[in-house]
Structure 1
Amino acid sequence: MTRPLRVLSYNVHGCVGGDRRLDPGRVAEVIAEARPDIVALQELDVGRSRSGGIDQAHHIAAALEMTSVFHPAMHVAEEKYGDAILTALPMRTVRTGGLPSVGEPRGAIWCEIEAGGRPLFVFNTHLGVLRRQRRQQVATLLGEDWLGNAACAGRDLIVMGDFNSIPSSPAFARLASRLDLARRPDGRLAGPTFPARLPLLRLDHIFLSGRLRCLDVEVLRTPLARIASDHLPLLARLESVGEAGGEAGGGDV
């Protein structure tokens, strides 16, 4: 990487803000202000009557002049609901799929993105609200189909999402035992991300592995971000130290 990489995780709540207004354009504006290179979004509607039938992933990506990979954790008839990874960098999909779920379905996305001529594996997920469910979902994410896959060994990894897990939770601890949490150089954590108007809980996180180092991480608390969704966006600036393993465009997994 020739310059710091800016990555952002954001639960957009179906693009419905704290004022109950549906506005994908407002969400895109919040993201654009942060100037991210890679974006992980959760709770997107695609073709749902409640949000006017639009493809929110495509709409936001187009506004940002990015491409998107969307995975529908929930798919009923023509209506879809799920998560996406957006970027203007070269990107290919490695895997998308569901996670063990009770009630609302949950899923994950795994893409390879080339940044500064170097390949990164980027993951996006949204875990459940039940503690036992989250532990099962984390175990699956760390298993051989996802982060535990042989293709991830020695690679630069970025894992983002709404984990519905505070730092003292078992699910968070399991992830933190295998990955490095993006935190400030002085060791401090980023601030709380939920609820947006009066944030009290750290539910959204960015984890790293390989030779990526976090230069800074912050929760965006602009006036627009406080109203556009029920979560605040989490932004990290990263640099790569030394040479990472793997080649861009490596074999399929």
Structure 2
Amino acid sequence: MPRILTYNVRRCLGTDGRLSPGRIADVIAAYEPDVVALQELDVRRARTGGIDQAHAIAQALGMQMHFHASLRVMEEEYGNAILTHRPSHLLKAGALPGRTGRLAPEPRGALWASIDFGGTDVQVITTHLGLRRNERLAQVERLLGPQWLGHPACREPVILLGDFNASPRSRAYQRLASRLRDVQAAIPHHRAQPTFPSRMPMLRIDHVFVSRSIHVVRVESVRSPMARAASDHLPLMVEFQVMPVRGHKIGVEHLHE
């Protein structure tokens, strides 16, 4: 049964102060996911030893990787990635709304790949939203609009996942939940599991949202001792089934901004 996992890795810097892409890969490998969405990856950044963390983790897991840099300074990059061992095509990678200028908050982006699950193309979009309420709302509206979830190519089945920096009581979360189902609310009698902070998780800000043709079987916030140390977030793993979908397969051409 397919599994997908979302994980904010905090540039692979653990709560114990240890920097280790390999440990992040080990946390992920223990759950054998088909698809992994990663946030806060450093690529060739001096502060993390110049390592391409996205490539290193993908290589350790034997997966192909799609990366989008939400921040780029010279050769240094920072952003999000989708990893998978299944056939996949990058459809779109782009920035989300945010203030610009010297004192602007960290820029945000999203990444969309079409992934083949036994002949059915699942549209997987990952993102990492901002810290400010108005910023998050603008970013959610962009994701719900015609460039992303509202695009004609973004048809069933769809999975939207990542670090939304938004609790279930927030307007940003509620806007998304009005269009897609939160996997933690999709299983009867399931007790919602927080993912942040990893040492003593209290907040539910990492989410997986799915369309109606995704049947959620199991949801687990990964709480192994290694996961508690590897990042300040815990991974969220979802086991699911893709239900039959009518209609033609989506094309694989890249969607431009």
In the TM superposition, what whole-angstrom CA distance separates every residue of 1:169-220 from its partner, at most 9, and x where no partner exists? 0000000000011125215353100000000100100000141111111100
- Residue by residue, what CA displacement relative to the aligned partner does 1:53-83 show, whole Å, maximum 9, x if unpaired? 0110000000000010000000011110000
Counterpart of 1:52 in structure 2 is: 49
* Matches for 1:213-232 after TM superposition, within 5 Å: 213-232=215-234
Q: CA deviation at 1:151?
A: 1.3
**What pairs with 1:1-253 in structure 2 (closer than 5 Å)?**
4-102=1-99, 103-153=105-155, 155-183=156-184, 185-247=187-249, 249-250=251-252, 252-253=254-255
Contact map agreement 1:74 1:82 (CA 8 A) in 2: yes
Helix, strand or coil at the partner of 1:70: strand
Tell whether the 8 Å contact from 2:219 to 2:238 is kept in structure 1 after alignment: yes
Distance 1:189 1:85, change over 3 A: farther
The secondary structure found in structure 1 opposite 2:148 is coil
Offset at residue 168 of structure 1 (A): 0.6
Runs of 5+ consecutive residues of structure 1 not aligned to the other structure: none
- Over the residues paired in the alignment, what is the CA RMSD in angstroms? 1.3
DSSP 3-state at the match of 2:244 = coil
What is the aligned length? 249
Shift of 1:237: 0.5
- Distance in 1, matches of 2:172 and 2:24, equals 28
The one-letter amino acid paired with 2:157 is: D
Counterpart secondary structure, 1:221: coil
CA contact (8 A) 2:90 2:254 kept: no
One-letter amino acid of the counterpart of residue 137, structure 1: Q
Match of 2:102 in 1: none
| Conserved? CA contact 1:215–1:239, under 8 Å | yes
Alpha-carbon separation, structure 1, partners of 2:106 and 2:216: 33
8 Å CA contact retained: 1:40, 1:161 = yes
After TM superposition, the structure 1 stretch with the greater mean CA deviation from structure 2, 33-42 or 175-184, is: 175-184
Residue-by-residue CA offset, 1:25-63 (whole Å, 9 max, x unaligned): 000000000110000000000010011101100000000
| 1:177 partner amino acid | S
Offset, 1:118? 1.1
Aligned partner of 1:45: which letter? D
> Does the 8 Å contact 1:210/1:244 carry over to 2?
no
C-alpha change, 1:187 and 1:180, in structure 2 (3 Å) is farther
User: CA 1:248/1:114 → structure 2, altered by over 3 Å: closer, same or farther?
Assistant: farther
Aligned-residue offset at 1:245? 3.3
Structure 2, unaligned stretches of length 5 or more? 100-104
Residues 190, 218 of structure 1: 8 Å contact kept? no
Distance 1:244 1:22, change over 3 A: farther
Question: Which moves more between the two structures, 238-247 or 156-165?
Answer: 238-247
Amino acid at match of 2:232: D
Distance (whole Å) between structure 1 residues aligned to residue 129 and residue 161 of structure 2: 11
Amino acid of the structure 2 residue aligned with 1:17: G
Deviation, structure 1 residue 242? 2.4
